[in-house]
Structures are given as C-alpha cells and as structure tokens.
Amino acid sequence: MSAPGLDLSRRAAIAGVGVSHFGRNLPDSQLRLAAIAFKQALDDAGLSRDDVDGLAINLGWPLGVDYDRAADAFGLNVRYVNQTWTHGRFVTMCIQQAAIAVAAGLADVVACIAVASFTRERDILGGPGDFEGLREEGGTHGEYPPYGMTSPAAGAAMAYQRYMSLYDADTRGLGEVAVTMRNHARKNPNAVMQKPMTLADHQNARPIVTPLGLFDCCIVSDGAVVVLITSAERARDLRKPPVYVSGMQGIRAGRDEFIFAPPGLGINQQQPGAVAPRPSDLDAYRMAGIERRDINGLYTYDAFTPLVLFVLERFGFCAPGDAHQWVRGGRIGLGGELPVNTSGGLLSEAHVSGWNSIAEITRQLRGEAGERQIAKASHLQWGTCWGDSVVFSAH
C-alpha cells in the first residue's frame, strides 16, 4: 500500500476564492473574466497582488488564458508555475501541485486560475477546431473524427450504452442527476440555468448522442474561478477560515482506464469485469484520516450525467452497476444522504471545468452557502470518475 513519504495532509489550504459572473455569449474576454475572479479572490483572502508568487493554470489559450499572459496582465512576479492541458480532468492536478508547491516552499501563494469562454470557442468542443481528436489512435475521450466521433459527449455516451447493457439500466438515473443539479442551481443566483426541470423534461429532451439527450450534457458557458492556495500556517492568519487540503490522490491512467468510465466497464482496451474499490483506490480518505462515511458531500466533474453515476461507483458509495438506482429518491440532493454538486455543477451552474464546484466546497466548509448549506459540513470530497480526488476539511 502506498505510504506517503511526507505528510502533506492539512499542510496547505484554500485561503480565498473569487468567481466571475457566469453566462453564455458574455461580452467579456477570458482575461477580463479571470481578472474579476482574481481581484475577488484577493479580497476574499485579504491578500494583495504582491503576495501571489505562484500560478496554476488549468485551461490555457485559446479556451482560457496562459500563465505568462495572466502574470503580465495581473502585474505579478511569479516564481512557480504549473499549466496543464486545456481539459477539465486536471482540476485535481492543479490543486495537488499547488498544495505541494506551498508545502515545499516553492511558492507562498499560488493562484489557481480557471477561465473558459466556451461560447466564443465553439469549434473546440467536437468541431473542426478540436485537434486532439486527431491524436494518433484516438482522442482523449474516445474521439475518432474519421468516423464522425468528434465530441467528448460521444465518449460518455459510449460508456453509458455499455453500462445499460451490462446492468440492465435505463436513463432515469441520469434524469435524477440532471434534475438534482437543476434544483441546486435554482438555489444559486449565479447559476446560468434557472428554469425548473422535471424527470419528464429530461426523458423527452431532444437526442444529442444517444443514449444521451440535451439535459445529459453540461451547459456551454463562459466564466472564471480563481482559488488561492497557501500554507496552512499562513491561511490561519488570513481573513477567512482555512479550507484545508486534507487528502489527495492522483489521476489514474493505463490500459484499464478510459476517462469517462470506471475500470472494468470495457471501453477502449479496458479489461471487462467491474471491481469494488481497492485500498489503493481510496488513498485520499486515508491521507485525510477519515472514512468514506465521513464525507458530507461529493463534488465531481459532471460534464455528462453518466459521470456522476460512475464516480459514485468508483469511490464505493455504491456497488458497480447500482448507481443508476442508488441516486434515485433524492439521495444526491440537498438534505439527502450524499449531496452532490450543491451549486448546480457543470450541468446547471456553469462549465468552469469544475472549479465552480471548488468554489462551492470553499463556501460550504466556511458555512457561507446560505440556502444551500450542508449542515455540519466538515469533510467534502472533490473526486472524478477517472479516479483522482482531493478531500477538503474544515479542521
């Protein structure tokens, strides 16, 4: 079993968050949205621009803003940078690297900047501008443009089609996810989607890539989130209570992994045969010194509704093949057993690549979530169906 050589639990914390307005076809440039979120994050933490000496960029140009442009525009003197692919899968990696950097003294304050203008860059998602689809032997979400398989949504649809066949599932569990996210968004004034949605609306929506319909796919929106990460010691002296990074585990990769399916589903070259989580799949809980049952809420990359079912199985909240039933009856809603994406997620709040949920985790653990507040929230998990995770704790 993996034993961390260095105890990084609660060595770093979120000290500030900033969130721009979210919307579709916003007139703002990506840099302007990032600037709004950056200034708000500084104010939230009680820090100045001169305190920021590290940058973690999840989404670079052209969807977002590259590190050098951000440093230049925000007048920073930066001594630490991490910039990942322009993909939502690297939320965890950005946070992890920032936490490691401040714990190791490579930076004092790292600004994690996530900004995306999906409405200005429409061709990037499954269109002619989606160069990654042409990667030799297939794109990163199963894309294969010569066959017209050009969109990430199609990868999620492939996975769910096989799931339905293996487990005799239907799409009502997906509907529960979509409706729950919409209900959460309707308690969040900054969420893009405010119109009520019923299970019937979900079931009757126009098909996008079957078995997925319109409400199984996240919204295409514009917005920015900035998260400031510093050492736990420094965070304790700042304006707001620290939100500790208490547990972490990295992204999984290999022939048994497909980004939009749990291991064992049998997509691409995955060996078929679903397995319950092994101890090595749950390192983040162990590092945080908690059990899975201590998690008060789960936050995940819900670009497509099946991903929510898959993450529940991946971390063992329910057994393989059970999630489509397990989510029904309000279990993942506010007041339920395991609230998921309480600000509305990518499906109904905004697609800031999941960073909108990191902002919500911060609000929840500080007790600032208002109508959406999870009672006695102590430990909240960011975890994805590709197996990475960060556990955040209030103490």
Residues interacting with another protein, by CB under 8 A? 123, 125-129, 131, 133-138, 142, 144-151, 153-154, 157-159, 161-162, 165, 206-211, 255, 266-269
Of 16 and 139, CB closest to another protein: 139
CA pair distance 262, 214, nearest whole angstrom:
23
Q: What 3 state SS string does 8-72 have? A: CCCCEEEEEEEECCCECCCCCCHHHHHHHHHHHHHHHHCCCHHHCCEEEECCCCCCCCCHHHHHH
CA pair distance 364, 344, nearest whole angstrom:
13
CB of 212 to another protein, least distance (A): 8
Q: At 168, give phi and psi (nearest 5°).
A: 55, 45
CB of 163 to another protein, least distance (A): 9
Of 127 and 279, CB closest to another protein: 127
Tell me which H or E stretch contains 109: strand 109-117
Tell me which H or E stretch contains 93: helix 91-104
Residue 287 near residue 100, CB atoms below 8 Å: no
CB of 239 to another protein, least distance (A): 45
Residue of 240, 264, 172, 260 lying closest to 211 (CA atoms): 172
What is the crossing angle of helices 305-314 and 152-167, to 10°?
A: 60
CB of 203 to another protein, least distance (A): 16
CB of 147 to another protein, least distance (A): 5
What number of residues does the chain have? 395
Of 153 and 352, CB closest to another protein: 153
Q: What 3 state SS string does 281-340 have? A: HHHHHHHHCCCHHHCCEEECCCCEHHHHHHHHHHCCCCCCCCHHHHCCCCCCCCCCCCCE
CA pair distance 325, 365, nearest whole angstrom:
29
Q: At 234, give phi and psi (nearest 5°).
A: -70, -40
CA pair distance 47, 41, nearest whole angstrom:
8
CB of 266 to another protein, least distance (A): 6
Of 114 and 159, CB closest to another protein: 159
Of 145 and 247, CB closest to another protein: 145
Residue 245 near residue 146, CB atoms below 8 Å: no
CB of 180 to another protein, least distance (A): 24
CB of 253 to another protein, least distance (A): 12
CB of 323 to another protein, least distance (A): 18
Of 143 and 360, CB closest to another protein: 143
CA pair distance 53, 107, nearest whole angstrom:
6
Of 152 and 344, CB closest to another protein: 152
Of 92 and 221, CB closest to another protein: 221
Of 133 and 387, CB closest to another protein: 133
